[in-house]
Amino acid sequence: EIVLTQSPATLSLSPGDRATLSCRASQSVGSHLIWYQQKLGQAPRLLIDDASNRATGIPDRFSGSGSGTDFTLTISSLEPEDFAVYYCQQRTSWPLTFGGGTKVE
Amino acid sequence: EVQLLESGGNLVQPGGSLRLSCAASGFTFSNYPMSWVRQAPGKGLDWVSTISGNDDRVFYADSVKGRFTISRDNSKNTLYVEMNSLRADDTAVYYCARRTISWGGFDIWGQGTMVTVSS
């Protein structure tokens, strides 16, 4: 099973700040790394597919990068609605696994 | 509008059974792999199971293998999961989620249905 480790667990920032979230895989996942945003009481929302491809309707302040075992989600300038929990997920192999999440507060 | 609507969540005793349903609308259901993902209270996301569009491939997390059965009825645009031998650690919100047609990320999610396993 591929283990995904997200850091930091919590990121304390202000609107307008740049947010940098990390996801590290226990073995290579190539580019098959996905990012989601989840707000309190809501279902997750797909942000980034295959490491760097923004999903439909996702603002360009969200960007993803990385390959192999190290990945980054960057929010260039935080908007009030961006404060949420962010999860990474790998689709390289079964079982599909998620990271533990990073809370941006 | 593309939509997924789960139902069937309930309070059930340990060892009991439950069947969840997910009604899909707004897209060609049979073209897409579908999955169940759960989230225990205050915890992260946990993949449960995936079924291919034409029902010829199914995949399960080890934690549910042998206890849960995923299925779909493409004529009714509905996804199911039959859950048996339920345990306290199965307590979670269960989300129905569509994978992209290329087996990528989960691009559409339902609102979730709560399953509580407790005596």
Residues B88-111 have pLDDT tens digits of 999 999 999 999 888 989 999 999
Q: How far A100 CA sits from the closest chain B CA (Å)?
A: 6
Q: Which residues of chain A have pLDDT under 70?
A: none
pLDDT of B37 strictly over 90: yes
| B chain contacts of residue A101, beta-carbon cutoff 8 Å | 44-45
Q: How far A17 CA sits from the closest chain B CA (Å)?
A: 25
Token pair 């205050």: residue: B42
Is residue A94 within 8 Å of A32, Cβ to Cβ?
no
Given CB atoms, is B44 within the 8 Å cutoff of chain A? yes
Averaged confidence pLDDT in chain B: 97
Report pLDDT for B101. 86
**DSSP per residue, B60-84:** E-TTTTTTEEEEEETTTTEEEEEE-
pLDDT of B114 strictly over 90: yes
- The rounded distance, in Å, linking the Cα atoms of A22 and B21 is 35
Report pLDDT for A24. 98
β-bridge pairing A70-75 and A97-98? unpaired
Contacting residues for A43 by C-beta, under 8 A, at least 6 apart: B95, B109, B110, B111, B112
Overall average pLDDT of the B55-75 stretch: 96
User: Tokens in use for A38?
Assistant: 């989840």
- The rounded distance, in Å, linking the Cα atoms of A79 and B42 is 24
| B chain contacts of residue A10, beta-carbon cutoff 8 Å | none
pLDDT of B35 strictly over 90: yes
Is residue A17 within 8 Å of A105, Cβ to Cβ?
no
CB pairs under 8 A between A and B: 56
Report pLDDT for B102. 87
